[in-house]
Chains A and B, each alone.
Chain A
C-alpha cells in the first residue's frame, strides 16, 4: 500500500482515554498498560480522525519523515 504523506503524532499529555483508538479506522493506536496512547506508524494512514476527537488535543498530523 502506498504510504500516506501524513502521520499522526501523539503528545505526552495524553490522558489515555482511548477516544483516538476507538475512531481509528486502521487500529493504529493502542494504549499499552494504560499509560499513554502509542501509534503504529506503519498502520497509520494519516486520516486525522484521531486528532479531531482527542479531547486533550494532543494529536497532530505531521509530515511522514521517511519516504519509504
Chain B
C-alpha cells in the first residue's frame, strides 16, 4: 500500500473526522426496483407504477432538489451498484470513450424519447380501436409473448401502455446490467436518459453556477475554491 493512501491503510481518515456512513432507509430502495420487476412479471398492469421512476426524478430536479434522486433514491442505480460492487459481477473497467461522450448520452436520450413516443402512439392507436398487442418488446426488437396478461378488467389502451412501458423498463434494465458486467457497476448512469434529463434541468436552472463550475479541474481553478456551496 502506498504511503499517500491513508484512508485505505488504517482508516486514518475516519479517525480524523471522516464520515462513517450509516445506513439510511433510502439505501434500501434497490428492493423497490427488484419488487417492481417482479410485480411486472406477476401482472403487467404493475408496469404503471414505473411512471413514478420517471416523474419523481424530474419533479425533484425541477423543484430544486438537484440530482438527489440519482445520488440517493434511485433503486436502479443502487441495484447496479450492489450487483457490480458488492457481488463483484462487474469487470470494473472504465467504459469505452464513445459510451462516455456527450454524443452518445444525448443521442441515446433522443433515441429513447423517440421510442417512448412510438409507445405512446401505439397506446393511442389501441385507444382509438386497434387490437391490443399482448407482447413486451425487449431491446426494441425482440417480442416476448407475455404469459400472465390478466388485463380483462381494464381498458385496452391502459393495458397497452403497461405492455409498452414494461418493455421500456425491462430494456433499460437489461442494458444497465450488460454495461454493469462489461464496465463499471454504474456505467448505465453515464447514458441513463433520466440522469441526462435531470442533469440538463439542473444545468438550465442554475446556468450561472454551471458556467463557473465549468472550470473545475485543479489546473485552472483556485485550490481553495471548493465545494461551491
Q: Do A and B come from one complex?
A: yes
Chain A interface (Cβ within 8 Å of chain B)?
1, 4-7, 9-19, 21-22, 25-27, 30-36, 38-42, 45-49, 52-58, 62, 65-66
List 9 A–B pairs whose Cβ atoms lie within 8 Å, in order of A's numbering. Answer: A5-B3, A18-B71, A19-B189, A32-B213, A34-B68, A35-B199, A46-B4, A47-B5, A47-B6
Chain B interface (Cβ within 8 Å of chain A)?
3-8, 11-14, 16, 18-19, 61, 65-68, 70-72, 77, 81, 85, 92, 94-95, 100, 102, 105, 183-190, 195-196, 198-199, 202-203, 205-206, 209-210, 213-214, 216-219, 223-224, 226-229
In the complex, the answer to whether A56 meets B218 with C-beta atoms within 8 Å is: no
In the complex, the answer to whether B213 meets A7 with C-beta atoms within 8 Å is: no
Q: Name the A residues within 8 Å of B205 (CB-CB).
A: 33
Please classify the interface of chain A as helix (H, G, I), strand (E, B), loop, or mixed, using the class held by over half of its residues: loop
Q: Which one, B14, B16, B187, contacts A55 given CB within 8 A?
A: B187
In the complex, the answer to whether B184 meets A65 with C-beta atoms within 8 Å is: no
In the complex, the answer to whether A55 meets B183 with C-beta atoms within 8 Å is: yes
CA A17 to CA B77, docked complex, whole Å: 9
In the complex, the answer to whether B8 meets A47 with C-beta atoms within 8 Å is: yes
In the complex, the answer to whether B8 meets A40 with C-beta atoms within 8 Å is: no
